[in-house]
């Protein structure tokens, strides 16, 4: 097995092969991003001894730090994610760029894109991360990058106005400092968590609020510091195995589900079929918008008694209403398709199953294969009549709305 320090020729070969794949699949679309990702040696920014096959796997992040509890706190993002986020950011020579969430690798790409006339500042709250980033950037010829240890929820001293703010950690909210330090014609790219779903969103300022230009499915280690946010976990009473996860507060009182698992499980098949590899990002967002009690469900398989039977025990799209909860499942439908179904438990299980089925069928008719919803970010003091959108999510520093583009 070849590691990241043993063969520069093999590293170059694997890097070019990876970039070819990302370009051919449409994750990299511009010659500028392609050029910098071919130029910067990714193996020099990953931990020593990391196998080249792992370094240049298009879909895999490389962990660089974990907490004492084994939780990932810093990583070099997957090349596929780095590629499409750089495309979203539209970085040009001479620009001023702020990167939030450091590590060195992405800052090197940004330094190449802005050129000698531009500037890059990379910020992280963890001094171990910034120390590592500063060392790696200097060793690889990128000492023009300014490395700052700070909580990026606050304004960054000496930055001025940024043409691009690129966030490389998962954010639940948009701190005011980000919009205050963004050039009025600038670009904010951030992995934003909404109702438990994370999208890398490219925002521009529009009449006092942020409005999305594109959104890509992604996953990131969560932000630390003042804007850190923990999801709420509801363990369904009567079982130790079923956990419902809510990102923006519980829509019901926890005790309402106390007797849900004592009722027979309703199983409904919807007639909605999809290809096994068909993207379902719009389905996830459709349910998040239309179902007031939207959440995700996980199952502790070691404690499973069979009360629920999810297709994916770690992550199922789900919803709650009053004294009932429901989740989506799939079953084979021919050689290459699967059919969606709904399992529901509780006194009003059939009603909730019907609502979830109707929403799923609406997606198949109205949203499937179409554009992503428009995401708008308003100040926290914005009134309802100032906000356009089908679903409004209240955060600490902002109000975020989701709505579908006009047909």
Enzyme catalytic residues:
77
In sequence order, what E strands does 239-355 have?
242-246, 266-275, 294-299, 316-321, 324-332, 337-346
With a CB cutoff of 8 Å and minimum separation 6, the contacts of 230 are none
For 134-154, b/e burial (b = at least 16 CB within 10 A) is bebbeebebeebbbbbebbbe
Residue with structure tokens 């009567």? 238
Q: Which residues pair with 3 in a beta bridge?
A: 51
Instruction: Count CB-CB contacts under 10 A for residue 329.
Output: 20
- The DSSP-derived string for 167-214 is E-SBBSS--HHHHHTEEEEEEEEEEEEETTEEEEEEEEEETTEEEEEE
Compute, in degrees rounded to 10, the torsion defined by CA atoms 350, 351, 356, 359.
140
First to last CA, the chain: 52
Q: What counts of helices (H) and strands (E) characterise the chain?
A: 9, 19
Helices 8-24 & 31-39 angle (0-180, nearest 10): 160
């Amino acid at each position: 097995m070849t590691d990241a320090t043993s063969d520069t020729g093999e590293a170059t070969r694997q890097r070019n092969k990876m970039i070819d794949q990302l370009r051919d699949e449409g994750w990299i679309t511009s010659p500028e991003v392609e050029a910098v990702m071919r130029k910067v040696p990714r193996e020099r920014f990953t931990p020593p001894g990391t196998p080249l096959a792992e370094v240049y796997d298009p879909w895999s992040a490389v962990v660089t730090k974990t907490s004492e509890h084994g939780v990932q706190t810093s990583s070099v993002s997957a090349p596929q994610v780095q590629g499409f986020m750089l495309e979203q950011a539209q970085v040009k020579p001479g620009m001023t760029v702020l990167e939030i969430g450091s590590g060195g690798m992405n800052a090197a790409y940004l330094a190449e894109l802005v050129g000698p006339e531009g500037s890059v500042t990379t910020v992280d709250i963890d001094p171990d991360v910034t120390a590592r980033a500063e060392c790696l950037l200097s060793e690889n010829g990128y000492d023009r990058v300014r490395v700052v240890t700070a909580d990026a929820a606050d304004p960054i001293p000496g930055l001025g106005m940024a043409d691009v703010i690129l966030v490389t950690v998962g954010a639940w909210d948009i701190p005011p400092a980000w919009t205050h330090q963004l050039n009025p014609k600038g670009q904010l790219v951030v992995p934003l968590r909404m109702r438990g779903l994370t999208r890398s969103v490219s925002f521009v300022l529009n009449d006092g609020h942020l409005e999305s230009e594109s959104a890509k499915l992604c996953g990131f280690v969560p932000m630390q510091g003042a804007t850190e946010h923990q999801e709420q976990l509801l363990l369904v009473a009567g079982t130790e195995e079923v956990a419902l996860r809510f990102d923006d507060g519980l829509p019901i009182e926890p005790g309402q589900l106390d007797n849900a698992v004592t009722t027979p499980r309703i199983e409904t098949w919807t007639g909605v079929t999809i290809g096994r590899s068909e993207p379902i990002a719009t389905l996830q967002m459709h349910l998040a918008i239309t179902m007031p009690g939207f959440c995700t469900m996980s199952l502790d398989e070691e404690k499973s008694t069979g009360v629920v039977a999810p297709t994916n025990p770690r992550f199922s799209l789900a919803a709650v209403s009053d004294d009932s909860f429901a989740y989506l499942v799939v079953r084979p439908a021919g050689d290459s398709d699967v059919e969606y179904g709904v399992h529901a438990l509780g006194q009003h299980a059939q009603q909730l199953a019907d609502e979830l089925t109707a929403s799923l069928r609406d997606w198949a008719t109205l949203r499937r294969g179409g554009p992503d919803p428009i995401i708008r970010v308003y100040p926290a003091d914005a009134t309802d009549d100032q906000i356009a959108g089908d679903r409004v999510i209240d955060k600490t520093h902002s109000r975020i709305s989701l709505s579908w583009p006009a047909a």
